[in-house]
Structures are given as C-alpha cells and as structure tokens.
Amino acid sequence: MSASTATMTEVRLYRSRGKVLRMVLLCSVFVGLGYFMLGRPDAPQGIAWLSIGFFGLGFLFGLYQLLDRRPQIIVNEFGVFDRTTHHEFINWEIIQDVYLIAVNRQKFICLVVDEAFEPSRKKNKFRQGVASLNKEFGFQELNISLGLVSIDTMRFAEFILAMRGAEQPEREGLVREAIANL
C-alpha cells in the first residue's frame, strides 16, 4: 500500500504477490497431474486434458496478475475504485450502505447503491439476471473483492463505511489516517 502525494491523497492497495504466487503454484501442480495422467492408459484422458486446460488458463491468468503492478483498489476523497468491479470511481454520495461478506474464505465488501446507479440498469437482460442472482446470494452489484489483497478486511470495511458517511472536508483526513493505520 502506498499513497500518492502529488495533488490528491489516496490509498492504493496492490495484489499480494504471495497470494498470487500461491495460486500459480497450485495451478502448476494440477497441470502437472494432468500431464502425468496423459501417460497412463488407466487414467481418464478427458479429465487429464480438462485439468491441463482449466488449470493452464489459471496458471496464465496468475502470471498476468503477478506481472501486473497496477493498483487493485484506490480510495480517495471522491470515491473508491476497484479494477475488478467497475471501470470508474464509485462516488461516496451514491453509496447507501456497506457490509462485509465471506464466501469460501474469500472476503468481499458489498456496496449498496440506489437502483438508479446500479450498473446492470444499462445492460441487457442476461446481465440484469446475473445481477439479481448476485443479490439472491447476499451480494450487491458493486462488490470489492479482497481475495488477492493483504489487508485487515474488517478495518478496511470500517474505513469504507466511515468514508461513505463523512462529509467532503473530513474525507482527506480519513484517507491520511488510513494510510498510516491500514
């Protein structure tokens, strides 16, 4: 995590190299097992190829994540940006509530926004259906994934909640405090 000091103070969170490396190594093991199965006549060849293909893609995705040094999450006085969630900053003014959810030890911060600002509103019926399915599972349309970021998820969720409730002049101070404490 680092802060830019040029014109705006912001919290920048990067992917944990250790977590991404663990994913790459785990994918490598399954690719190796699939390759080993190819040489055995008693092993199901379809499963071997499926393992090589699926985990091979995971391996390549992990390598890309390992080499990509752009910040995953940026928080500043205007809003929050997560590269995996939305392609622009989510302004504090549209966030109504924030809560933390965990699925399979993967943690997410869910951002509740007014229906008028939900991204699926401008999408096709399929994407709207996927968004409603997300809500049935307890998520929102805008969720910040914390799976590959090494941070105290509870403190970060409290920080996001504090930023949402703060007025514009207070937000820069909260960001500076977060840089020192997260």
3-state DSSP call for residue 64? helix
Q: Do the domain assignments include residue 37?
A: yes
Nearest CA to 113 among 135, 126, 98, 133?
98
Mean pLDDT of the 18-32 span = 94
**Domain range spanning residue 134?**
73-181
Residues 86 and 21 in one domain: no
Whole-angstrom distance, CA of residue 77 vs CA of residue 92: 8
Residues 113 and 165 in one domain: yes
Task: Give 155's contacts (C-beta < 8 A, 6+ positions apart).
Answer: 181, 182
What's residue 121's pLDDT? 67
Task: Please give the structure tokens belonging to residue 119.
Answer: 């991204």
pLDDT of 55 > 90? The answer is: yes
Q: Do the domain assignments include residue 36?
A: yes
Terminus-to-terminus CA distance in the chain, angstroms? 8
At CB < 8 A and 24+ separation, what contacts does 116-121 make? 118/142, 119/86
Q: Do the domain assignments include residue 23?
A: yes
How much is the mean pLDDT over the chain?
Answer: 85
Residue appearing with tokens 């190829």: 49
Residue appearing with tokens 């995590």: 1
Q: Do the domain assignments include residue 3?
A: no
Q: Do the domain assignments include residue 150?
A: yes
Residues 156 and 87 in one domain: yes
The residue ranking higher by pLDDT, 73 or 117, is: 73
Q: Do the domain assignments include residue 136?
A: yes
pLDDT of 80 > 80? The answer is: yes
Total domains in the chain come to 2
What's residue 171's pLDDT? 86
Mean pLDDT of the 111-118 span = 81
pLDDT band at 7 (very low <50, low <70, confident <90, very high): low
Mean pLDDT of the 38-43 span = 88
Share of the chain above pLDDT 90, in %: 30
Whole-angstrom distance, CA of residue 120 vs CA of residue 123: 5
Residues 134 and 95 in one domain: yes
What's residue 179's pLDDT? 80
Share of the chain above pLDDT 70, in %: 92
Residues 156 and 83 in one domain: yes
Residues 63 and 114 in one domain: no
